[in-house]
Amino acid sequence: MSFPKAFIFDLDGVLVDTAVFHYQAWRRLANDKLGFDISHEFNETLKGISRMDSLDRILALQDVQFSDAEKTDLATLKNEWYLELVQQMTPADLLPGVVLFLEKTRAAGIKIGLGSVSKNAKLILERVEILHWFDAIIDGTKISRSKPDPEVFLKGAQELGFDNADCVVFEDAVAGIEAAKRAQMRTVGIGQPSVLTHADLVLPGFENLKPADLYKLNSNANI
């Protein structure tokens, strides 16, 4: 299989760790507005899931019923609390090795895309000062279906101008890996092999990683 022409990165948990901000905002909503708590373990199941789908999963924990308008208000409130935390972000919030890997990716002539369901993706990229590295950004403002639907990655390949098979997706969530697989893209999981069991390759992060390393691992990982 040919060396990839484009890398498409998820945002939360791959480039930055904003999962803790999401958890803090969702937990505040659950406690203040819904009357129950949510665990960190449950929050892990919301990775890669859209805001409204996440809210539906939270409400289902206690079989709480709200109208669509009320759910929109709740999701908006959660996002306001989340953005208060995001506004405090700096480049120090980037995960280790990210900037150097982006630099090496650009130097290797590989296009760089973002594939995130977050509607705040550009704001976060601006806050951590890596927006300029991206040739295409597909986020929650450009898609109508959440992962594991492949829409976000299909649009990413289209905007980057490459066939799906020429793209490699970097994901930390099971739903994201499934979405990339459904888009017929190769996948690199960032996290634990025991969790990302369907990824073609799983790495702990980007420290000391070079794009060429993926080529050397190509035959071993079947990506």
Is 56 assigned a catalytic role? no
Q: What is the DSSP letter of 53?
A: H
Is 37 assigned a catalytic role? no
Determine the angle formed by the axes of helices 19-29 and 68-86, rounding to 10 degrees. 130
Residue where the block lists tokens 């369907």: 198
Structure tokens at 78: 């959660």
Q: Report the relative pairing of strands 6-9 and 111-115 from DSSP bridges.
A: parallel
Q: Which of 1, 5, 16 is nearest to 206 (CA)?
A: 16
From the list 12, 139, 149, 172, the catalytic residue is: 12
Q: Is 189 helix (H, G, I), strand (E, B) or coil?
A: strand
From the list 10, 139, 172, 200, the catalytic residue is: 10
Residues designated as active site = 10, 12
